[in-house]
Structure 1
Amino acid sequence: MSKEKKTKKKEQRTYIGGQAVLEGVMMRGKTSYATAVRDPEGNIQVEKKRLSISKHMRRASKIPLVRGVVNFVSSLVTGSKILMRSAEVYGDTDEPSKFEIWCRDKLHINMMSAISVIATVLGVALAVGLFVALPMLLANLIFSENLRFGNVWYNLTQGGLRLVIFILYIVAISAMKDIRRVFMYHGAEHKTITCFEKGLDLTPENAKTCSRIHDRCGTTFMFLVMAVSIVVFSIINWLCDEYLNIFVYNNVVNYLIQFAVKLLFIPLVAGLSYEVLKLLAKSQSKILLPVKAPGFLLQRLTTREPDDSMLEVAIAAFNSVYQMDADPSIPESEFTVSMTVRKYVETLKEKFKAASIDESDAEWLVACSSGIARSELYTSEKMFVPTEVSRMDKIARERLGGRPLWYILGDTEFYGYKIKVDERVLIPRPETELLAEIAVKTYEEGDKVLDLCTGSGAVAIAIAKQKNISVAAADVSADALALAEENARANGADVKFVESDLFAKIKGKYNIITCNPPYVKSADMKTLPKEVGFEPAMALDGGEDGLDFYRRLAKEAPKHLVRGGALIMECGIGQAQEIVKLFSKFDYTMVTRDLEGVERIVRAVY
């Protein structure tokens, strides 16, 4: 062992306690709790939360006897909630039912929270049935001929049966593989806390040398509850039998009365047991060992030796809660849980809808990031593991921040070709494919083609690839042309680029000229959706009425069109007829509507 590992600080006690969960450990401090789990990919995830404790709870937690009941109930509810939360890391394949959706939307009830409460109630009911009702029933059968509820041997028998049932219960559930692993994490929790209290550096190597038995364990508390209950219930049964004389009915009624009395005094038993546990934990005297020994022996059943990976998880949980208690500014964090494809898409759509973002972006984000066809998102059986969820969450956060999805993903599809896009160019829209389609259909063998305001080069590439020809393309932006050239190379398209403000540096004449010029009115630039603000303004602003570039095209295009040549232009909503007027000197013009019925393309023949 290295010198560093042998380094020992002053021994110290800690208020931090814990609980084993599915593939992990929860550690709870004074103001916070942290749950660390090892996810399906083998990574340690930590969820950190601040405790919300009311003034009444804080007061109650300082009152002897009462504080034991408060802590017990709080631990029960929180523990059940965290156990279910740790299971979510491994994925929830069930889709929400109509009832769950109705409860969420109409009653504003979180079904996971409701299930957690129900699970806690059922757990308490099971415990009461196994450790209260059943021992009573068996003891009544044993002493049926001479049944006196105040009899010492009757009450000792009940207590003994309760202990035997508890041990058999622990042994039975230990046969389950998942429970055995939970017990191993229970051992890791104890070793980690003991390692800290011994003043050793928190490392798996150091923790491994520590005992998996601890004074403040819940198992010891359960033994104390059973031991204290023998004393308390013996006294209560004796008083009820000898002085209050309430067991004067038939066996069934007497059984129910005794059962009700026991339920009534369970909080007292829990409170007394908690105080005894605190007192015993404060002293390491060997004199108290006989009292502690039974609880320690039971811990041998509920804890097992953990491996190093489990100790790493427990240490991560301990360090997190220790730091949070020391620094109130540390933020909370949540697990990244596994999800089915469908559930992730629907969750993302809700977030986008709340942010007024097109919900279809959620589908495109998942489809492009995962390689799953958009049409298969709701039928795919694939489960996204946490790493995949984290990667897509990162993209989603950028999108929620306003950045266009295709800039985030880095490319988009246009006319069947992959086009790289970033803030240097306008993102090609689906309606612009109509511009390329008309150009392709207009083309005749031997025609020369020019694409103005080429931007990413999408239109020029589509035409060049479809007709297997060389196309000239121009743009005023050198940055845009650099990206367009990259796209042309990537798609194997023969496109010759030139930096030019429309026809300024264009020589020769062409049979077909395509152009998707800026056509947004200057006054409307400020009202555009947030994501459009990320795109280059020079590719959008078309002047006061949005028609500045069309006026220039009407004036300059004739010098660069052969007779019978066509100028094919995209335009904005409501602009087509005004543009037609600008080209009155051309032989004729034609307007084509897009799939939405909008007059989108103007073709002017010279």
Structure 2
Amino acid sequence: MKKIDVGGQAVIEGVMMRGTKGIATAVRTSEGKIEVDFLNQVPITKKYSILNIPFIRGFFVFLDSLILGIKSLNFSASFFEDTEPSKFEVWFEKKFGDKSNDILIYISLFISFMFAMVLFVLLPTFIASLFRGIAQSSVILNVIEAIIRIVVLLAYMIGVGQLEDIKRLYQYHGAEHKTIFCYECGDDLTVDNVRKFSRFHPRCGTNFIFLIMFISIAVFSFTSFGSVGERLIIRLVLLPVITGITYELIKWLGRNEGNLSRIVASPGLQLQKLTTKEPDDGQIEVAIRSLREAEGIRKSIGTVLKEATEIFKKVEIDTAVLDAQILLAKTLNKDKLYVITNKEELVSIEKEEEFLKYVKERELKKPISYITENVEFMGIDFYVKEGVLIPRGDTEILVEEVLDNIAEDSEIEVCDLCTGSGAIGLSLASFRKNIHVDCIDIEQIPEEVTKENIRRLNLQDRVNFIKSNLLEKPLEIQKKYNIIVSNPPYIKEDIIETLMDDVKNYEPHVALSGGEDGLFFYRKIVEESIKILDQRGILAFEIGYDQGDEVKEIMEAAGFKDVKIKKDLAGLDRVVVGGL
């Protein structure tokens, strides 16, 4: 096992880790984000070498840890404060200014210390004095006092462990231990790897507290059992000695794995069954983030790409390599070529966390275009999001067919019906600079997305969005179009559940379902388009591979002439187009 000096502490919804680069406190906020506070601070015993003398340094490390722990708790608590500052807090900050937080930390430390003294020193000392009539020996009375102290400690741990917030704190405590164990063993810090390790660690603070109890028996046995006040003073005076001895013992336990070290560590490890709980994956992620920040661990572009690709392959995503590259390029705000050619470049921990969020979404088969909110269509970048159908390459056949029917300098009126993201209509407007296009849809999200794409492509003067149930509104104002183009919902209702997870679980059902036979919208659009198309107007549809003849028959029955079926690059029926 690789021996290191990383240590940690659970805080409110998070973990603090102390490593070679500094101190990092990572907290999971109520919004689900991981926030990190990093302090470039070295231990007090390294800052002042005179304090690093064995059996003396332990007391100063103990005090330093208490102060650091309170600072970390304050940072974590700051994310869960819902109330306005009290009048006292406002006055205190005004009175002491920038020093107010440090002063409050030392006040908190003093109160915590006094509480611990009363509960674990004064109370056991007082109770033990009641046994004076039974046992006269100072050694026996000191042992009785130590036993009482242990009972009080156990009762306190069991009692507070019943609180829900403390249970979660104990889970983060377990996550801290498991993460440190994983790191000590030299394994990669992943959730799966960390989960395999024990939540019981010999260098834990729980061990430290429990060992103090036993060492105090040995030390106090050499003292007299006088009055309560005398004993309290003696225990305070000897506290640095006891903490110093305990600290050296804890360090020894961390370096050794022999039978003796196991025996010494065993009671403290058993006690950790009370103070640690098995963490969930999200809590492990927080602990990993904290340790990596504290140790300054960063991964290269090549490493994070490889890890993401392996995740995608496990869930049988055919485009695993490409998807990983696209998502990392989005994360780094670079192009795909950059991540391919700069694989040795290190990724910041913040960016890696952002990347992993995208990876998890893709692992659940969320379409890559919804994650990146971008799709290329006809060589143009379009904004998309959940709630609109993602434009496919096959639909470019429809656009190209319509473009063949529009002269370069033509000034005609075009309707993109069931527009979704507006990709068809906006592509037509981009390639024919004088046409006017109405993009029509009935849903709220297509309206939002299409308007954003109109803005991004700077086509506000020639493209308009109309919210309408098919051609209802244009018919009301007796609008006339030269061309109506549409990629309507055309999947048979009972077929939708057989589609790929990417489609059926994420893309809008309303943009997929064409009714029982898949032809509902073709019939309706054909019926309405006759009333709104100009003379010699053109109607063009995208269709399913097996719908060509049926859609052609619907159009011809309504009076359309020269109806043709166009095939895609795979040789399948893809477009039906006809004119009046």
Whether 1:406 and 2:347 are equivalent positions in the alignment is: no
SS class of match (1:429)? coil
**Does the 8 Å CA contact 2:486/2:541 hold for their aligned counterparts?**
yes
Whether 1:528 and 2:499 are equivalent positions in the alignment is: yes
State the match for 1:518 in structure 2: 489
Unaligned 5+ runs, structure 1 = 1-17, 29-33, 47-179, 209-277, 304-320
CA drift of 1:199 comes to 11
Q: Distance in 2 between matches of 1:398 and 1:433?
A: 28
State the match for 1:241 in structure 2: none
Matches within 5 A, 1:308-347: 326-331=275-280, 333-334=284-285, 335-336=288-289, 338-347=298-307
**Does the 8 Å CA contact 2:16/2:25 hold for their aligned counterparts?**
no
What are the Cα deviations for residues 18-59 of structure 1, in whole angstroms up to 9, with x where unaligned? 9634xx44789xxxxx9935598985569xxxxxxxxxxxxx
The TM-score normalised by the length of structure 2 is: 0.51
What are the Cα deviations for residues 436-479 of structure 1, in whole angstroms up to 9, with x where unaligned? 33323431212221111112222112222222232112122244
State the match for 2:84 in structure 1: none
State the match for 1:489 in structure 2: 455
- What is the aligned counterpart of 1:588 among 542, 562, 571? 562
SS class of match (1:544)? coil
- Relative to structure 1, the CA distance from residue 503 to residue 19 in structure 2 (aligned partners, 3 Å threshold; closer, same or farther) is same
Whether 1:504 and 2:472 are equivalent positions in the alignment is: yes
Q: Distance in 2 between matches of 1:602 and 1:41?
A: 66
- Relative to structure 1, the CA distance from residue 452 to residue 328 in structure 2 (aligned partners, 3 Å threshold; closer, same or farther) is same
- Relative to structure 1, the CA distance from residue 195 to residue 501 in structure 2 (aligned partners, 3 Å threshold; closer, same or farther) is same
**Does the 8 Å CA contact 1:39/1:45 hold for their aligned counterparts?**
no
Q: Distance in 2 between matches of 1:471 and 1:588?
A: 24
- Relative to structure 1, the CA distance from residue 42 to residue 431 in structure 2 (aligned partners, 3 Å threshold; closer, same or farther) is farther
1:499 aligned partner, one-letter code: K
Larger CA Rg, structure 1 vs 2: 1
Whether 1:449 and 2:414 are equivalent positions in the alignment is: yes
Q: Distance in 2 between matches of 1:508 and 1:198?
A: 76
CA drift of 1:393 comes to 1.2
- Relative to structure 1, the CA distance from residue 363 to residue 554 in structure 2 (aligned partners, 3 Å threshold; closer, same or farther) is same
Matches within 5 A, 1:104-123: none
State the match for 2:509 in structure 1: 537
**Does the 8 Å CA contact 1:25/1:185 hold for their aligned counterparts?**
no
**Does the 8 Å CA contact 1:19/1:189 hold for their aligned counterparts?**
no
State the match for 1:565 in structure 2: 537
Matches within 5 A, 1:151-230: 194-195=62-63
Q: Distance in 2 between matches of 1:440 and 1:185?
A: 80
Q: Distance in 2 between matches of 1:200 and 1:428?
A: 54
Matches within 5 A, 1:397-436: 397-436=360-399
Matches within 5 A, 1:285-304: none
Q: Higher RCO, 1 or 2 (CA under 8 Å, sep at least 6)?
A: 1
- What is the aligned counterpart of 1:576 among 548, 564, 573? 548
State the match for 1:349 in structure 2: 309
CA drift of 1:516 comes to 0.6
Q: Distance in 2 between matches of 1:379 and 1:563?
A: 56
**Does the 8 Å CA contact 1:339/1:384 hold for their aligned counterparts?**
yes
What is the count of residue pairs matched by the alignment? Answer: 360
**Does the 8 Å CA contact 2:9/2:69 hold for their aligned counterparts?**
no
SS class of match (2:514)? coil
1:534 aligned partner, one-letter code: Y
CA drift of 1:563 comes to 4.1
State the match for 1:363 in structure 2: 325
**Does the 8 Å CA contact 2:412/2:436 hold for their aligned counterparts?**
no
Q: Distance in 2 between matches of 1:462 and 1:595?
A: 20
CA drift of 1:189 comes to 9.8
CA drift of 1:543 comes to 1.1
1:454 aligned partner, one-letter code: T
SS class of match (1:377)? helix
State the match for 2:39 in structure 1: none
**Does the 8 Å CA contact 2:398/2:540 hold for their aligned counterparts?**
yes
CA drift of 1:431 comes to 2.5
Q: Distance in 1 between matches of 2:57 and 2:284?
A: 21
**Does the 8 Å CA contact 2:411/2:436 hold for their aligned counterparts?**
no
**Does the 8 Å CA contact 1:418/1:491 hold for their aligned counterparts?**
no
SS class of match (1:583)? helix
- Relative to structure 1, the CA distance from residue 521 to residue 534 in structure 2 (aligned partners, 3 Å threshold; closer, same or farther) is same
1:587 aligned partner, one-letter code: K
- What is the aligned counterpart of 1:438 among 401, 404, 420? 401
What are the Cα deviations for residues 233-275 of structure 1, in whole angstroms up to 9, with x where unaligned? xxxxxxxxxxxxxxxxxxxxxxxxxxxxxxxxxxxxxxxxxxx
Q: Distance in 1 between matches of 2:431 and 2:24?
A: 48
What are the Cα deviations for residues 364-398 of structure 1, in whole angstroms up to 9, with x where unaligned? 32222223322443332332121111011122223
CA drift of 1:402 comes to 4.6
1:488 aligned partner, one-letter code: I
State the match for 1:55 in structure 2: none
**Does the 8 Å CA contact 1:522/1:542 hold for their aligned counterparts?**
yes
CA drift of 1:525 comes to 1.9
2:342 aligned partner, one-letter code: S
The TM-score normalised by the length of structure 1 is: 0.49
Q: Distance in 2 between matches of 1:344 and 1:456?
A: 32
Whether 1:605 and 2:579 are equivalent positions in the alignment is: yes
What are the Cα deviations for residues 500-543 of structure 1, in whole angstroms up to 9, with x where unaligned? 22222223332222101001110012223333333322111001
- Relative to structure 1, the CA distance from residue 546 to residue 186 in structure 2 (aligned partners, 3 Å threshold; closer, same or farther) is farther
- Relative to structure 1, the CA distance from residue 325 to residue 397 in structure 2 (aligned partners, 3 Å threshold; closer, same or farther) is farther
State the match for 1:472 in structure 2: 438
CA drift of 1:596 comes to 4.1
SS class of match (2:416)? strand
- Relative to structure 1, the CA distance from residue 383 to residue 199 in structure 2 (aligned partners, 3 Å threshold; closer, same or farther) is closer
1:531 aligned partner, one-letter code: D
Unaligned 5+ runs, structure 2 = 28-45, 73-104, 110-212, 223-240, 253-269, 293-297
Calculate percent identity across the aligned residue pairs. Answer: 28
CA drift of 1:351 comes to 1.6
Whether 1:20 and 2:4 are equivalent positions in the alignment is: yes
Q: Distance in 2 between matches of 1:422 and 1:38?
A: 41
- Relative to structure 1, the CA distance from residue 561 to residue 370 in structure 2 (aligned partners, 3 Å threshold; closer, same or farther) is same
Whether 1:377 and 2:339 are equivalent positions in the alignment is: yes
SS class of match (1:534)? coil
